[in-house]
Amino acid sequence: MKNKNSNPSIRCSVTQCAYHCGDENYCSLDKISVSRCAAQVTDCAGTECASFTCRPGAKLGLNNK
């Protein structure tokens, strides 16, 4: 899908997100929120994009980017 404007400041490979730019590995939002998903954060696995919104069809494994 190429009906979104990519934000070159936010690289992202989460194609299951509704804000992902599809063929380009960028986010389409102007800004995102990042939060922790573990009590003690010692590496990137303890962080997450809190702006993630599941793309329709992603839960079914559909690739409709």
Report the interface residues with ligand SF4, using CB under 6 A.
10, 12, 14, 17, 19-20, 27, 29, 32, 49, 51-52
Closer by beta carbon to ligand SF4, 32 or else 65: 32
Pairing label, strands 34-36, 26-27: unpaired
> What is the smallest separation between the CB atom of 33 and ligand SF4, expressed in angstroms?
8
Instruction: Report the alpha-carbon distance of residue 25 to residue 46 in Å, rounded.
Output: 21
Instruction: Report the alpha-carbon distance of residue 7 to residue 22 in Å, rounded.
Output: 12
> What is the smallest separation between the CB atom of 17 and ligand SF4, expressed in angstroms?
3
